[in-house]
């Protein structure tokens, strides 16, 4: 009698595994550079923006950034994203995002904008990669639109004040010397 339950248990288990393996409406990682194709159709065009990035970052400073996806071709308010960065630390600030592997991703499929924190590294250029998907909310892979986006930010050059001072001192010295010898 008990033996007959084993196939059932295996079936239930494999269903569970399959369900969690395809639970992309709950977040996805590793696709920030390649996008969401292969599975999702691209039913139109989508746009991704990343707001809150400075032109040059301050080493070690924490910035609050916002990813937004939009599409005129996909109705509704649903969407998702996968973001990675070459340096620094990504931190969720609310329940709408989570860390998955090295990436930051959505936790649900009911929005198109997400805010999170990024703590800058101490040096070097940093590149953000984002794959964003505007979803039609049907819980499936059709009728959605996705695109990828990337943005690089350099660090603020060290000691800009000191550099200016040295240049000014050099100019003053040249003027002084010029006055003395000519």
Binding site for ligand HEC (CB under 6 A): 22-25, 28, 31, 36, 38-40, 78-82, 109, 131, 133, 135-141, 144
Specify the residue, 42 or 156, whose C-beta has the smaller distance to ligand HEC: 42
Specify the residue, 25 or 121, whose C-beta has the smaller distance to ligand HEC: 25
Specify the residue, 50 or 120, whose C-beta has the smaller distance to ligand HEC: 50
Q: Cβ of residue 64: shortest distance to ligand HEC, in angstroms?
A: 21
Q: Cβ of residue 21: shortest distance to ligand HEC, in angstroms?
A: 9
161-182: buried (b, 16+ CB within 10 Å) or exposed (e) per residue?
Answer: eeeeeeeeeeeeeeeeeeeeee
Q: Cβ of residue 130: shortest distance to ligand HEC, in angstroms?
A: 9
Q: Give me 26's structure tokens.
A: 């709950």
Q: Cβ of residue 9: shortest distance to ligand HEC, in angstroms?
A: 24
Q: Cβ of residue 71: shortest distance to ligand HEC, in angstroms?
A: 12
Specify the residue, 120 or 130, whose C-beta has the smaller distance to ligand HEC: 130
Instruction: Please answer whether residues 39 and 29 qualify as being in contact, where contact means their C-beta atoms are separated by less than 8 angstroms.
Output: no
Specify the residue, 25 or 96, whose C-beta has the smaller distance to ligand HEC: 25
């Amino acid at each position: 009698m008990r033996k007959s339950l084993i196939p059932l248990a295996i079936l239930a288990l494999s269903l569970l595994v399959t369900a969690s393996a395809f639970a992309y409406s709950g977040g996805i990682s590793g696709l920030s550079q390649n996008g969401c194709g292969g599975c999702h159709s691209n039913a139109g065009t989508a746009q991704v923006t990343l707001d809150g990035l400075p032109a040059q970052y301050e080493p070690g400073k924490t910035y609050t950034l916002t990813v937004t996806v939009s599409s005129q071709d996909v109705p509704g308010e649903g969407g998702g994203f996968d973001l990675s960065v070459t340096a620094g630390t990504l931190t969720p600030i609310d329940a709408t995002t989570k860390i998955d592997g090295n990436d930051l991703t959505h936790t649900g499929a009911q929005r198109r904008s997400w805010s999170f924190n990024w703590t800058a590294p101490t040096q070097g250029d940093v590149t953000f990669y984002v794959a964003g998907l505007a979803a039609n909310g049907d819980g499936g892979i059709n009728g959605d639109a996705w695109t990828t986006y990337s943005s690089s930010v350099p660090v603020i050059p060290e000691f800009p004040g000191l550099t200016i001072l040295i240049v000014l001192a050099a100019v003053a010295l040249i003027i002084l010397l010029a006055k003395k010898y000519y």
